[in-house]
Amino acid sequence: MQKEGNILEKRRKTRNTRHRQLIKDVLSRVYSHPTAVELYEMVKKEMPGISLSTVYRNLERLASDGMALRLDTGKGPARFDGRTNDHYHIRCIRCGRVDDVPIDVDTSMISKVRDVSGYTVLGCNTEFYGLCPLCRTEAK
């Protein structure tokens, strides 16, 4: 009985690792900063049996382990990012789309912030906002 329990436990662990790895892989392949639901739709194509709650749980876990970024965009559900290096984001206030801004992060700002605040600065999460190219065209 005890032995059987161990085997089941082991299987569960293997499955969890496989889920987490797949979620991490899919997340790092896309640049759309998906919500948990959007990511679930993508992951499901590769692992049809996976549940939304598994995706939620693993995303939160990846974020707390520093293997993914959780972007709280203020409005709507959180978005996730497989790229954890410091980078800027820009968010569309109309459709909620979030893109990376491919410019160098101003590291001098971090030391300035440290000097005036007395904090040890671990990172920054700068978000620009505006209208994305598509919404800008539609707004005209």
- The residue from 39, 55, 81, 82 that contacts Zn ion (CB under 5 A) is 81
Judged by CB under 5 A, the chain residues 20 through 79 that form the site for Zn ion are none
- The residue from 92, 105, 110, 124 that contacts Zn ion (CB under 5 A) is 92
Is 128 in contact with 101 (CB distance < 8 Å)? yes
Report in angstroms how near the CB of residue 93 gets to Zn ion at its nearest: 8
Distance CA 50, CA 58 (A): 11
Rounded to a whole number, what is the distance in angstroms from the first to the last CA of the chain? 69
Number of residues that bind Zn ion (CB under 5 A): 8
Sheet-wide strand order for 127-130 = 98-101, 88-92, 127-130
- The residue from 22, 52, 78, 135 that contacts Zn ion (CB under 5 A) is 135
Where does this chain bind Zn ion (CB under 5 A)? 81, 92, 94-95, 97, 100, 132, 135
